Chain A
Amino acid sequence: MKNRMIKLTALLMSVLLLGTGCGASGGDTAGDTAVKEEGTKEKAVFADTQCPTSLDLADSWNSWYTSRYGITETLFKLDDTLTAQPFLAESCEMQDDTTWVIKLRDDVTFQNGNKMTAETVKKCWERTMEINARLNELLFIDSMQADGQTLTVKTTKAVPSFITSLSEPLTGIIDVEADGDIAEKPVGTGPFMPVSYEVKGTLEVEQYTDYWGGTPKLEGAVFHVIADANALAMAQQSGESDLSVSIPATSLELFEKDDAKYNVDGVAGSRGQVIFMNYDNEFIQDIHVRKAISMSIDKESYANVLNKGASVPASQLYPDFMAFGGSDGECIEYDLNGAKELLKEGGYSDSDGDGILDKDGKNISLRMVTYSTKAELPNFCEEMSSKLKEIGIDLQVEVYESVAEQQKSGDFDLMMISFTMTPTGDPGYFADIAFKTDGSSNYGHYSNTEVDALIDQLDSEFDQEKRTELTKQIQQKIIDDAGYIVVGHSKYIYVMGSSLKGLKTNPSEYYLLDAEVYIQK
């Protein structure tokens, strides 16, 4: 009797607990629907897992968000092939190696009605430069001269990627002399103006009727931040969101099979799953080991099976769809037996019979670190660990929230991270920061003097074809070294309710909402 009572109570308790859990989430949903009902007709609801720290575009990476939200715009804009096309500017011409003349459009106004002139652009960049050093890693501005709609920029050195850099959202234009707090209500030139923003919560924007590209089709939009990827998918399913960014690949099939209700649109991007190898490790220093690791990765299966097609396998390092992508070069093919042979050639053997190869009495045992916020990374690492075991290398995988610590301390043998390799469509950026001996993101201290020399050449080469050629050479050298491994590149995927129309996908992560997006009734 007593026992039955205990069991009954336990059952009751668990039901109660379940009830409170559901109750809480139920409450949230109710709140969200209220927001939606108010604007079902003319407002679109967007959801993403990430958000900016404020709406001040000069601060850290916030400009990427203000650009996606349709608040700020740049002088040039990237097209589908990541080539910069004039946008707020009419043209940008090089006068000599260090002088650029930018002609601005005459019909652009800020969201407070003020006209955008060369003077306002100059003032905006001066402010951004003061707050964010990254602007000058892009533009290398020495001095600026404003005259009507013409801005003349002198740079501190030759900057071949100047025009593509003008499409990086950080170079976006706001009216710095407008009233109000820039962090809360920046005044940009885009089709939408911010109404309110709560960090990690909700952003509301409304249309700017005098937008230079014509009155936006939507009256406004709401952006929800839903950090949990599963909750994000469920919000899309319940119809709370019209569009979701960063839906996990694992939930994509839910939407793909229901194509009357949803559109899934993805475009190959440049966000690579990059493996950094730490050259302080004695085994990593041996090209036999590096190459064997490369050969044990079946990039096709990683992208198509593990990541369910949400990424595209990389032939070499840069994305294949780009002019300088490595699809026509020599690649390292998936070949487990070849990897075993290679290790044997390198003098490794399993002398103590524990299944792990060794040399001079030391087992090849490596530590790999990665992080969990990009859902595919831990799975990729586990698969690697299993395949490396087959060729006799022991790989221990450690999954953290963030690997920023390890990047600083170098406390890893292998590290897989997700890295946007060509944000502006230019190869120089990633080569400078990762492939160069003293690059700021060269976490594993890869070093090859030939590669360094080629990168220096790339940094001062203006001719686009030669740049492509140089990039291909750099890439081939690194592949010959097996110095870096790029598993694949993530697609930039949106899931949309089928009533949302007019949205154009772009391989850069810069754009989302624009004047052409509308909801079909």
Chain B
Amino acid sequence: MKRKKTEEISFYILIGLIVILLLAALLAPVLAPNDPFKTELTLALIKPDKEFPLGTDPLGRCVLSRILYGARVSIFSSLCIIGIVFFIGTAIGVTAGYLGGAVDMVLTKIITIMQAFPKFILAIAIAGVLGIGIKNTILALCLVEWAEYARISRNLSRGVKQRTYIKAAKVCGESRLQIMFHHVLPNVLPTLVVNASLGISSMIMEVAALSYLGVGVKSPMSEWGAMMNIGKDYLQTETRLVIIPGIAIFVVSVLFNLFGDKLRDILDR
């Protein structure tokens, strides 16, 4: 009983931290001490001081302000991707799993084909073809990520389909759509939500990785991966340029991962 309570408390603390994080990202324009986009070469590579708490980058831009603005891009684009693939993947998966037969076969084949590709390399290729820009990055990652969610929800739905309450619903004359919405979906949803919340951190990393490789955001937009890319040339002289965005990615990933973890524990109970 006591353990349950501490678990709940830590879950709320985590939620609190994530809310603070999201607020910080949303309120970046208010919180940022300086203009994150304005370059000023006379202020290039300043060590952390009062005016620039985390120093400046090679173009004289405030690193803290860029981290805050970058949080919006990194976090919200990841949430956006997870939202889209969660919706599409679940819709396809539940349809395939519940309807079965030819529909299932065709959809499963497509999912298998998508999953046969090395995911990240395919994303790089798609983003490369579509061109540089955050919209294209989101699109590219959605195109490669949906299959995983479709696969899981399809397998779960197939399991649920065998349950007696589904048979009962059928006997009662509910339509397929109604059964899918009212009985299948609610039963597969918890697992999917946990999976999605655990996926957020890997998505943040993938968005950052694409930007690091130069196929993500367009400059002057600020993004953590892109910041590391600029910093890598200064690895030996201005290590903070890589470390700071690295810490940001690390902290946010850990927070979302722990959140997903706790969410599973609570939903499993």
Interfacial residues, chain A to chain B (CB-CB below 8 A): 3, 6, 229-230, 233-234, 248, 250-251, 253-254, 298, 301-302, 305-306, 372, 375, 378-379, 381-383, 385-387, 389-390, 396-401
Q: Which of B42, B59, B233, B236 contacts A382 (CB 8 A)?
A: B59
Asked whether B182 is an interface residue with its Cβ less than 8 Å from the other chain, the reply is no
Shortest Cβ distance from residue A134 to the other chain B in the assembled complex, whole angstroms: 31
Interface residues of B in 220-238 (CB under 8 A from A): 220, 230, 232-237
- A387–B38 Cα distance when bound, in Å, is 8
Asked if B220 and A382 make an inter-chain contact with CB atoms under 8 angstroms apart, the answer reads: yes
Shortest Cβ distance from residue B38 to the other chain A in the assembled complex, whole angstroms: 6
Asked whether B131 is an interface residue with its Cβ less than 8 Å from the other chain, the reply is yes
Asked if B233 and A306 make an inter-chain contact with CB atoms under 8 angstroms apart, the answer reads: no
The interface residues of chain A lying within 8 Å CB-to-CB of B44 are 305-306
Asked if B236 and A233 make an inter-chain contact with CB atoms under 8 angstroms apart, the answer reads: yes
The interface residues of chain B lying within 8 Å CB-to-CB of A3 are 261
Asked if A385 and B220 make an inter-chain contact with CB atoms under 8 angstroms apart, the answer reads: yes
Asked if A386 and B220 make an inter-chain contact with CB atoms under 8 angstroms apart, the answer reads: yes
Asked whether B37 is an interface residue with its Cβ less than 8 Å from the other chain, the reply is yes
The interface residues of chain A lying within 8 Å CB-to-CB of B237 are 250-251, 253-254
Asked if A382 and B235 make an inter-chain contact with CB atoms under 8 angstroms apart, the answer reads: no
Asked whether B58 is an interface residue with its Cβ less than 8 Å from the other chain, the reply is yes
The interface residues of chain B lying within 8 Å CB-to-CB of A230 are 232-233, 235-236
The interface residues of chain B lying within 8 Å CB-to-CB of A301 are 41-42
Asked whether B219 is an interface residue with its Cβ less than 8 Å from the other chain, the reply is yes
Asked if A375 and B233 make an inter-chain contact with CB atoms under 8 angstroms apart, the answer reads: yes
User: Given A250-B237, A399-B214 in contact, is the A306-B58 Cβ separation under 8 Å?
Assistant: yes
The interface residues of chain B lying within 8 Å CB-to-CB of A386 are 37-39, 59, 220
Shortest Cβ distance from residue B231 to the other chain A in the assembled complex, whole angstroms: 10
Asked if B218 and A398 make an inter-chain contact with CB atoms under 8 angstroms apart, the answer reads: yes
Asked whether B139 is an interface residue with its Cβ less than 8 Å from the other chain, the reply is no
Asked whether B132 is an interface residue with its Cβ less than 8 Å from the other chain, the reply is yes
- A305–B45 Cα distance when bound, in Å, is 10
Asked if B218 and A382 make an inter-chain contact with CB atoms under 8 angstroms apart, the answer reads: no
Shortest Cβ distance from residue A237 to the other chain B in the assembled complex, whole angstroms: 8
The interface residues of chain A lying within 8 Å CB-to-CB of B42 are 301, 305
10 closest Cβ contacts across the A-B interface?
A: A386-B39, A301-B41, A250-B233, A305-B41, A397-B219, A398-B132, A382-B219, A383-B39, A399-B214, A250-B234
Asked if B236 and A389 make an inter-chain contact with CB atoms under 8 angstroms apart, the answer reads: no
Asked if A306 and B219 make an inter-chain contact with CB atoms under 8 angstroms apart, the answer reads: no
The interface residues of chain A lying within 8 Å CB-to-CB of B38 are 386, 390
- A390–B40 Cα distance when bound, in Å, is 11
A-B contact count (CB 8 A): 69
The interface residues of chain A lying within 8 Å CB-to-CB of B37 are 386, 389
Asked if A372 and B214 make an inter-chain contact with CB atoms under 8 angstroms apart, the answer reads: yes
Q: Which of A6, A253, A387, A399 contacts B39 (CB 8 A)?
A: A387
- A306–B39 Cα distance when bound, in Å, is 11
Asked if B59 and A381 make an inter-chain contact with CB atoms under 8 angstroms apart, the answer reads: no
User: Given A250-B234, A254-B236, A301-B41 in contact, is the A306-B59 Cβ separation under 8 Å?
Assistant: yes
Shortest Cβ distance from residue A340 to the other chain B in the assembled complex, whole angstroms: 16
- A253–B232 Cα distance when bound, in Å, is 15
Shortest Cβ distance from residue B61 to the other chain A in the assembled complex, whole angstroms: 8
Asked if B261 and A399 make an inter-chain contact with CB atoms under 8 angstroms apart, the answer reads: no
Asked if B236 and A398 make an inter-chain contact with CB atoms under 8 angstroms apart, the answer reads: no
Q: Which of B41, B214, B232, B235 contacts A306 (CB 8 A)?
A: B41
The residue on B at minimum CB distance from A389 is B37
User: Given A230-B233, A372-B214, A383-B59 in contact, is the A397-B41 Cβ separation under 8 Å?
Assistant: no
Shortest Cβ distance from residue A207 to the other chain B in the assembled complex, whole angstroms: 35
Asked if A399 and B132 make an inter-chain contact with CB atoms under 8 angstroms apart, the answer reads: yes
The residue on B at minimum CB distance from A305 is B41
The interface residues of chain B lying within 8 Å CB-to-CB of A305 are 41-42, 44
Q: Which of A229, A298, A389, A397 contacts B218 (CB 8 A)?
A: A397
Q: Which of A6, A302, A387 contacts B261 (CB 8 A)?
A: A6
The interface residues of chain B lying within 8 Å CB-to-CB of A306 are 41, 44, 58-59
Interface residues of B in 37-62 (CB under 8 A from A): 37-39, 41-42, 44, 58-59
- A230–B236 Cα distance when bound, in Å, is 9
List 24 A–B pairs whose Cβ atoms lie within 8 Å, in order of A's numbering.
Answer: A233-B236, A250-B233, A253-B237, A301-B41, A305-B41, A305-B42, A306-B58, A306-B59, A372-B214, A375-B233, A378-B219, A379-B58, A379-B59, A382-B219, A383-B39, A386-B39, A390-B38, A396-B218, A397-B218, A397-B219, A397-B220, A398-B131, A398-B218, A400-B214
The residue on A at minimum CB distance from B43 is A305
- A379–B220 Cα distance when bound, in Å, is 10
- A302–B60 Cα distance when bound, in Å, is 12
- A423–B41 Cα distance when bound, in Å, is 31
Asked if B261 and A381 make an inter-chain contact with CB atoms under 8 angstroms apart, the answer reads: no
The interface residues of chain A lying within 8 Å CB-to-CB of B261 are 3, 6
The interface residues of chain A lying within 8 Å CB-to-CB of B235 are 230
Shortest Cβ distance from residue B222 to the other chain A in the assembled complex, whole angstroms: 11
Shortest Cβ distance from residue A459 to the other chain B in the assembled complex, whole angstroms: 40
- A379–B61 Cα distance when bound, in Å, is 12
The interface residues of chain A lying within 8 Å CB-to-CB of B41 are 298, 301-302, 305-306, 383
The interface residues of chain B lying within 8 Å CB-to-CB of A387 are 39
Residue interface bits B160-181, CB-to-A below 8 A is 1, else 0: 0000000000000000000000
Residue interface bits B205-216, CB-to-A below 8 A is 1, else 0: 000000000100
The interface residues of chain B lying within 8 Å CB-to-CB of A234 are 236
The residue on A at minimum CB distance from B214 is A399
The residue on B at minimum CB distance from A304 is B41
- A457–B220 Cα distance when bound, in Å, is 44
The interface residues of chain B lying within 8 Å CB-to-CB of A298 are 41
Asked if A385 and B219 make an inter-chain contact with CB atoms under 8 angstroms apart, the answer reads: yes
- A397–B216 Cα distance when bound, in Å, is 12
The interface residues of chain B lying within 8 Å CB-to-CB of A378 are 219
- A419–B231 Cα distance when bound, in Å, is 25
The interface residues of chain B lying within 8 Å CB-to-CB of A250 are 58, 233-234, 237
